[in-house]
Every structure is written in structure tokens, then in C-alpha cells.
């Protein structure tokens, strides 16, 4: 088709302006709207509407897509549990503290050298809380460090954070916390770690140990990488797993990089892909992303007409996974010629390594003013499993199995439809939706991994309310034939412990690996009903 000179000149001005400025339209990513132009999501809140368009609920957005560790939640009487260790530093080496069961604190070589759930106290040597990275990745370290309320005398303390032998906060020397500073300082640092790297949170007494109780509850979060088309735009095909193509109705053809325009050009003059826009011309303009590994992905991003390009007959867009359309459900999504608000996309799909996701812009009738903003962002997210919520009458449903361990092998239990429980070879060996009960043999809830990945295991295990007699139970978690929690032996849950133990552990799994959650009766099986809230997040 022919395009008049005025339109061509206008388009050139728009494109050159964008190339020179490198603009990224921040407003395109701050909020999410539905097709009725209702606000559906901010960075913190999701808005739920009924069928009549009335706002019925505001939900805080969960951050379950992240692997995180909180020292107070993960605090344990066992060294190494949940990746945390409790130590002192004598100027030459780190030494492990000893657990004091009466105080529920870790104690060092001097009387006041302590690490408790939410505080540390030096005494001669420094008080140290250590976290060991269970996997490679980028982590964010946050949390407030301050003098404890009621400890506002003395000469204050000094604190710092080390990664192995390198100081990472503050940049040098110590961060001083004044004796009366209960407000303290918020730590917020990011660093790369390899599996096995140690992060040390160190409290030094300064001159005296008087009133040196220091609040410090570090939180460590693995940062989930996102693949953004704009941020990872490149003059190289395949960089960041992004490719730049056109679709002629039969095949996808790679575009050619133009170093002067800093754009990818197609077989016709206006077929373009730039950092923040796509433009069709006869053939469709296609940005492609290729999965680097198996897993579940969340595809987000806004597609809209570009500011200043609000004429013509609009464009049509869609997303294809390999040869299957995944958005919209069928046909095309039409973006009106003057629609700079556009549509916010959020969809989840499973991918295998090598799968292709195509973001396609079609010219509709004409190519006039078809410059289209589209910043696809792709993030791998975990597959989430919950032992109680996914309880089933069918062995293997949602990857869950209900078994017993006789010391030699795992055997499947039998479903009792009258009791709505799984029963074993002895009368009280049971698994119900909300509890497990051993009887001679151990009772076992087993989960089988559907693919390779990093599995974060969280949840609480405790005696069931109303079952606070007897001699308690022993519990542990196995991966195939290897124990992963606690570090060794059994975790004892006393007869009246309805609060129980908090679990937060990360393990690498391969497809077909079995994770066994085991409850042992201790000596007797009396009142051994045990609540175990198992939550699993399988990260790619």
C-alpha cells in the first residue's frame, strides 16, 4: 500500500525521537486495568469485581513467588536448621554456640554472649548469626538493627554484615548503634551468592557489654529474575532469550539490525522492532522469547498504541506458544487507533526448555500510525502444593501419596470412605486432611516431584489440639533415602506442644524424586495425632 509523505514524515519524527531519547513509558507498568478500564492491580493491592462491576474485595498481593528466610521465624535449637547458624567471633575464627534449653537461647563462651530469636548480645567476643546460601542466586538482605527497648544504657554497639571474608555492609568499618537508639537502621543490600556462601550478622560490644541487647531480625530473599523485552533489548538475536522476527503467514523470519536507527528492520520499510515498540508492515511484527528451562511462567505487560500514534485503524495483537494461541482465547485482540491506555496482560502457562512465546502485532487494515508499545515481561514462578488443601481420596493426585514405613519399605494406605481417612496395616495408623497418626509403623505423607527444580519446604508440625497427652512424637523429612530435615536424627514434638516447629528448608529435586514427611510414634502411640501443614513451592 502507499502512505502519503505527511504520514511518513510524522512517523520518522516519532521514531527518531524515540530512538534518541530511549524513552521507557513508566506509566505503562505502574497499574493494571481490565477491558472495562477498571483498576485491577497496583504493586501491592489486587482489586476484585463482581459480574456487575462492583468492587467486592481488595487483596494484598502475596510474595510467595520468592524464596525467603526470616531469622525470627526460622529460629531453631539446631545448628544449620533452616540455613541458620549461631556463633561467636573471637577475632580469628567463628565458633558455634551451645543451646540453652531453659533460656531458649544460644550461649557462648562468656555468660552474656547470646543469640536469641530476635536479639543478639556480645560479651568479649562478637555475637554472630550466620546464614548459609542453599543455592546460587541474587539475594536481598533487609531488616532493622536497633537497641532493644529496655536496653537503652551503656555505650551502644557496633554492627556489620560479612559475606564470607568480605564486608558488604556498611562499606567499611562498623555501623554504630547509639545506646538509646531503639529506632535503629534499616539494612537493605543486594549481593550475589554461590551455594555454600556464608552471610554473617555481627554485633560488637564496643567498650563495655552493659545493656548491649540488640534487636536484629534479618530477612534474606532470593530475587526472582524477570525477563523484560525493553530492559533486555539487544542488537543481537537471542540475547536474553529474545528474538526479533516477522510472520509472513507461513514462517517466522529473522529481522536485520540497523545500527543507525537502533532498530530491527524487516522485509518491508515500516516493519520494525525497537526497544519499546513494534510496527507491522504487510507481515506481522513479532518479538519472540525462548524458554531456557522447564517451568511455569507468568507473562505480564501492557500493549497499547504509542503516544502520538493515535490515528489510522488500530492494530491487532495476540500471543502464541509454539503453535498454540494462549492470548486472547481466540482471534485477535483489537487495539483501537487512539487507545494509549491499552490492555494489561497477566497469564500463566507451563513451558518446557526450548518453547517459543511469540508476541505478534498485526496491522489490521492499513499500516498508518501502527506503532505499538509492548513491553512483555516474563518471570518464572513456582508451582505451589499444599498437603492439606490437596488432600484426596486418590493416591498420586496432585503428586501426593499416603503411606506407612515399616523400616524396610513404604507401603500405600487404603482409603476408608466412612472415616474419610487413609488407614494403614494397624488400626490407628491414619492420614486425614488435617492430621497424621502413627501406630507401630511410621505414618508418611509423600510428594513426588513432577520436574527438576528448587523445592522450598515450609510449614509447621505440632501436636494436634486435643491430643496433648502421651509421650509425644518424632518427625523428619526425607528426600528419597537421604534426610533433609532436621540435619540429623529426629525432631521431637513433645506431648503438649501445639505450637510445634517451623520448617523452612530448600532442596534441589529431580523429576520423580520423593519427599517423605514422616511421623514416628516415639514409645507409645497414645494421643499421637499430629498436625503437619505442608507447603511446597517448586521453583524452576
In this structure, the answer to whether residues 173 and 264 fall within a common structural domain is no
**pLDDT at residue number 5:** 39
Per-residue pLDDT tens for 116-164?
A: 999 999 999 999 999 999 988 889 999 999 999 988 889 999 999 999 9
The answer to whether 170 touches 162, Cβ cutoff 8 Å, is no
Question: What would the DSSP string read from start to end of 331-370?
Answer: S-EEE-TT-SS-EEEEEEEEE-TT-EEEEEEE--S--TT-
Residue 36 resides in a domain: no
More confident site: 374 or 150: 374
Q: Which of 73-77, 240-244, 270-274 has the lowest mean pLDDT?
A: 73-77
In this structure, the answer to whether residues 370 and 232 fall within a common structural domain is yes
Residue 89 resides in a domain: yes
Res 24 pLDDT > 50: no
In this structure, the answer to whether residues 395 and 523 fall within a common structural domain is yes
User: How many whole angstroms separate alpha carbon 362 and alpha carbon 278?
Assistant: 10
In this structure, the answer to whether residues 513 and 443 fall within a common structural domain is yes
Per-residue pLDDT tens for 469-492?
A: 889 999 999 999 999 999 889 999
How much is the average pLDDT of 10-24? 35
In this structure, the answer to whether residues 374 and 399 fall within a common structural domain is no
Res 3 pLDDT > 70: no
The answer to whether 127 touches 108, Cβ cutoff 8 Å, is yes
Residue ending a domain, among 222, 241, 265, is 222
Residue ending a domain, among 353, 381, 409, is 381
How much is the average pLDDT of 239-247? 97
How much is the average pLDDT of 155-177? 95
In this structure, the answer to whether residues 458 and 370 fall within a common structural domain is no
- What percentage of the chain exceeds 70 in pLDDT? 88
In this structure, the answer to whether residues 471 and 405 fall within a common structural domain is yes
Res 171 pLDDT > 80: yes
Residue 149 resides in a domain: yes
In this structure, the answer to whether residues 318 and 410 fall within a common structural domain is no
User: What sign has the CA pseudo-torsion 483, 489, 495, 500?
Assistant: negative
Number of structural domains, the chain?
A: 3
Domain that holds residue 193: 67-222
Per-residue pLDDT tens for 326-365?
A: 999 999 999 999 999 999 999 999 999 999 999 999 999 9
**pLDDT at residue number 40:** 58
For residue 171 the three cell numbers come to: 562499606
Residue 18 resides in a domain: no
In this structure, the answer to whether residues 434 and 477 fall within a common structural domain is yes
**pLDDT at residue number 224:** 81
Residue ending a domain, among 381, 411, 445, is 381
How much is the average pLDDT of 516-528? 96
Measured between alpha carbons, how far apart are the two ends of the chain, in Å?
A: 47
Residue 474 resides in a domain: yes
Res 58 pLDDT > 90: no
Give the CATH number of the domain where residue 235 resides: 2.60.120
Residue 297 resides in a domain: yes
The answer to whether 493 touches 478, Cβ cutoff 8 Å, is no
Residue 26 resides in a domain: no
Per-residue pLDDT tens for 272-331?
A: 999 999 999 999 999 999 999 898 999 999 999 999 888 899 999 999 999 999 999 999
In this structure, the answer to whether residues 366 and 467 fall within a common structural domain is no
Res 493 pLDDT > 70: yes
What is the overall mean pLDDT for the chain?
Answer: 89
More confident site: 17 or 304: 304
For residue 19 the three cell numbers come to: 530512538
Q: Which of 2-16, 408-422, 444-458 has the lowest mean pLDDT?
A: 2-16
In this structure, the answer to whether residues 252 and 371 fall within a common structural domain is yes
Residue 200 resides in a domain: yes
In this structure, the answer to whether residues 461 and 511 fall within a common structural domain is yes
Res 23 pLDDT > 60: no
Amino acid at each position: 500500500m502507499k502512505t502519503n509523505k505527511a504520514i511518513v514524515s510524522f512517523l520518522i519524527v516519532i521514531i527518531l525521537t524515540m530512538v534518541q531519547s530511549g524513552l521507557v513509558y513508566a506509566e505503562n507498568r505502574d497499574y493494571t486495568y481490565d477491558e472495562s478500564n477498571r483498576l485491577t492491580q497496583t504493586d501491592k493491592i489486587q482489586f476484585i469485581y463482581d459480574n456487575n462491576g462492583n468492587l467486592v474485595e481488595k487483596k494484598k498481593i502475596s510474595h510467595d513467588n520468592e524464596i525467603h528466610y526470616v531469622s525470627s521465624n526460622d529460629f531453631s535449637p539446631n545448628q544449620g536448621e533452616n540455613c541458620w547458624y549461631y556463633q561467636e567471633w573471637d577475632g580469628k575464627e567463628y565458633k558455634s554456640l551451645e543451646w540453652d534449653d531453659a533460656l531458649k537461647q544460644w550461649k557462648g563462651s562468656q555468660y552474656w554472649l547470646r543469640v536469641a530469636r530476635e536479639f543478639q548480645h556480645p560479651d568479649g567476643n562478637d555475637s554472630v548469626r550466620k546464614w548459609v546460601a542453599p543455592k546460587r542466586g541474587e539475594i536481598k538482605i533487609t531488616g532493622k538493627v536497633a537497641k532493644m527497648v529496655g536496653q537503652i544504657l551503656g555505650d551502644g554497639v557496633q554492627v556489620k554484615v560479612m559475606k564470607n571474608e568480605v564486608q558488604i555492609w556498611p562499606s567499611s568499618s562498623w555501623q554504630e548503634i547509639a545506646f538509646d537508639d531503639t529506632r535503629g537502621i534499616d539494612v537493605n543490600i543486594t549481593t550475589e551468592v554461590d551455594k555454600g556462601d556464608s552471610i554473617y550478622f555481627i554485633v560488637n560490644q564496643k567498650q563495655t557489654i552493659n545493656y548491649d541487647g540488640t534487636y536484629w531480625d534479618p530477612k534474606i530473599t532470593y530475587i526472582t529474575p524477570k525477563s523484560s523485552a525493553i530492559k533486555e533489548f539487544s542488537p543481537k538475536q537471542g540475547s536474553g532469550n529474545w528474538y526479533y522476527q516477522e510472520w509472513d503467514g507461513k514462517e517466522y523470519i529473522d529481522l536485520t539490525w540497523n545500527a543507525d536507527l537502533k532498530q530491527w528492520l524487516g522485509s518491508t520499510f515500516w516493519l520494525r522492532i525497537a526497544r519499546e515498540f513494534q510496527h507491522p508492515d504487510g507481515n506481522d511484527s513479532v518479538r519472540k522469547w525462548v524458554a531456557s528451562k522447564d517451568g511455569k511462567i507468568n507473562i505480564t505487560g501492557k500493549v497499547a498504541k504509542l503516544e502520538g500514534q493515535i490515528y489510522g485503524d488500530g492494530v491487532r495483537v495476540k500471543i502464541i506458544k509454539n503453535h498454540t494461541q494462549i492470548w486472547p482465547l481466540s482471534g485477535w485482540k483489537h487495539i483501537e487507533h487512539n487507545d494509549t491506555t491499552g490492555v494489561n496482560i497477566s497469564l500463566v502457562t507451563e513451558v518446557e526448555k526450548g518453547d517459543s512465546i511469540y508476541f505478534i502485532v498485526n496491522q489490521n487494515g492499513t499500516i498508518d500510525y501502527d506503532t505499538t508499545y509492548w513491553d512483555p515481561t516474563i518471570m518464572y514462578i513456582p508451582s505451589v502444593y499444599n498437603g492439606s488443601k490437596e488432600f484426596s481420596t486418590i493416591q498420586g493426585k496432585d503428586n501426593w501419596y499416603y503411606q506407612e514405613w515399616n523400616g524396610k519399605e513404604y507401603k500405600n494406605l487404603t482409603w476408608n470412605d466412612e472415616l474419610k481417612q487413609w488407614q494403614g496395616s494397624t488400626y490407628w495408623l491414619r492420614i486425614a486432611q488435617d492430621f497424621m497418626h502413627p501406630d507401630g509403623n511410621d505414618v508418611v505423607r509423600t510428594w513426588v516431584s513432577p520436574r527438576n527444580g528448587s523445592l522450598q519446604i515450609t510449614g509447621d508440625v505440632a501436636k494436634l489440639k486435643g491430643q496433648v497427652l502421651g509421650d509425644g512424637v518424632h518427625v523428619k523429612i526425607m528426600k528419597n533415602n537421604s534426610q533433609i530435615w532436621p540435619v540429623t536424627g529426629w525432631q521431637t514434638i513433645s506431648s503438649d506442644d501445639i505450637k510445634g516447629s517451623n520448617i523452612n528448608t530448600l532442596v534441589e529435586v529431580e523429576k520423580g524424586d520423593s519427599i517423605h514427611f514422616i511421623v514416628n510414634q516415639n514409645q507409645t502411640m497414645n494421643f499421637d495425632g499430629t498436625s503437619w501443614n505442608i507447603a511446597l513451592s517448586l521453583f524452576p
